[in-house]
Amino acid sequence: MGRLPMEHDLQMLIFPTGTGRSFPRDDARAGYVRIMDSPRTLVVDDESSIRRILQAVLTRSGHTVTTAENGARALEHLTEGVFDLVVTDLRMPGIGGMELLSWCVQHIPGVPVVILTAFGSVDSAVEAIKLGAFDYITKPFDQQDLRLVLDKALAHRRRTCRNLHAEAGGCHALIGQTPGMRQVYDLITKVAASPTTVLLQGESGTGKELVARALHEHSTRAKGPFIHVNCGAIPANLFESELFGYERGAFTGAVCAKPGRFELADGGTILLDEISELPKDMQVKLLLVLQERTFERVGGLKTLTVDARVIAATNTDLAAAVRAGQFREDLYWRLNVVPIRIPPLRERVEDIPLLVEHFIARFNQRLGRTVTGVSAEAMTALLAAPWPGNVRELENVLERAVLLAESDMLQASDLHGVETSVVAPIPDGQDLKEIVRVHTAAVERVKIREALDETGGNVTQAARKLGISRKGLQLKMREYGLREDANGPDGG
């Protein structure tokens, strides 16, 4: 079976694979749903006439266009929103096209940048391409040429997104394009090559092992072993021998020497999953390994040296465990060198259509089924569900649904375990883009409310906590009617 027809995070047509047609919106009545979120394009030019022309041309071509009159305003848009394409003038006062390009290459490398330049500045445009721009267009431009270049740029964007979502080795795909997941990707890129200890924090089912594998496979240790240790599955009396091994005769039943997990991980990576379950006495021994990179087998006299990158993972608040005296503070700081938080599924609702596509394609292949998509009501139920088990729970629901489905289109009734009685019927012609937007806004409002509560209404601190600009938070507060609630010392 070919790839389900999804273009990027919210660009998907759910219809029978291989039909070669794209259904009009009225086909929602027939059980087909269109989620065709138009490409989100940022146009940057200090000439208002150029901005108006580009906005008109691109809007007619189906783009959702945001304009900026200078580089500074463009950076505000880029840090506060998600875009699929950037079209920028090369020469502007203040932050110019080159500086904007450099920022994009560093912070949003998957988003193509197309340069606008006057005919006499082609050499500069060629230099921009060497620095990472996708292509350039000379002014004045032909509308057909413009569309061709931008279509190629978007095709490149779609291929990039598919590559991000492709399974690495068939077992540990990272799926998602929401800001929270982009932060995860960014941290993976920045720290993968180093030997630094990483602490993965996230609820059960969010994909901590997938992130650990991505860190390993993008490191210089990729050809070395990846050893996964579930600390919650090892009996307390076996921890030391499991982690560090033992010599022959070290205890009854030790008929031969056995290397431990750290020894097996030499030259590679060791993932200590559920690290909060590590007993207190083993916490001390682990701290010594992290400090000295040496250990002894149980019953052994020889000190062994290990070169293994340590990644720890937890679904609990380790800082709270330290305060409660359940986890050593010195070990916590040794592990918490680079913390990476994997967001729960309820915080990245926009990624659910991507995940649905991914899992349906996987289970079709594994189970020999031919499911081609989901109905409007089914997708709405998936978007509305709280998902306490996160991506793992969604995966299990979809595997069962694909296996037991009686038709090629998953219905709400196929989603066993997902609450569907509270899902209102979808009006004829309403597309899922609007459904996703509504659910995302609801989640966003809750998170902003929580951040304001935790900071006593201090907008600056709340923005820092949410990872957005103060101005961006103020705009969101106004949008959700929260400005009057911000009564703290920085509430305005």
Q: How far apart are CA 269 and CA 309, in angstroms?
A: 5
pLDDT of residue 27: 31
Q: Do domains 40-165 and 435-485 have the same CATH topology?
A: no
DSSP 427: P
Q: Which amino acid is at 290?
A: L
Q: Which CATH number fits domain 40-165: 3.40.50.2300, 3.40.50.360, 3.40.50.10800, 3.40.50.970?
A: 3.40.50.2300
**Helix (H) or strand (E) run with residue 59 in it:** helix 48-60
Tens of each residue's pLDDT in the chain, 492 residues: 333 323 232 222 222 222 222 222 223 322 323 233 468 889 999 888 989 999 998 888 888 889 999 988 898 888 777 788 899 998 888 888 888 988 888 777 778 899 888 766 667 777 888 788 888 888 888 888 888 888 888 877 766 555 544 433 333 457 887 888 888 888 888 898 889 999 999 999 999 999 999 999 888 898 899 999 999 888 888 888 889 988 888 887 777 888 889 989 999 999 999 999 999 889 999 999 999 999 888 888 888 999 999 999 999 999 999 999 999 999 999 999 999 999 999 888 888 888 888 899 889 988 999 888 888 788 888 888 889 999 999 999 999 999 999 888 898 889 987 865 444 444 444 455 555 666 566 667 777 877 888 888 888 888 888 777 888 788 888 777 775 444 444 544
Nearest residue to 296 via CA among 304, 307, 287, 288: 304
Segments making up each domain of the chain, as ranges = 40-165, 193-342, 435-485
The CATH number of 193-342 is 3.40.50.300
**Cβ(301)–Cβ(250) below 8 Å:** no
pLDDT of residue 314: 95
E strands, 205-360, in order: 226-230, 245-246, 258-259, 269-273, 294-296, 303-305, 309-314, 338-341
Q: CATH second-level architecture of 435-485?
A: Orthogonal Bundle (1.10)
pLDDT of residue 45: 92
Name 89's bridge partners: 116
**Cβ(156)–Cβ(164) below 8 Å:** no
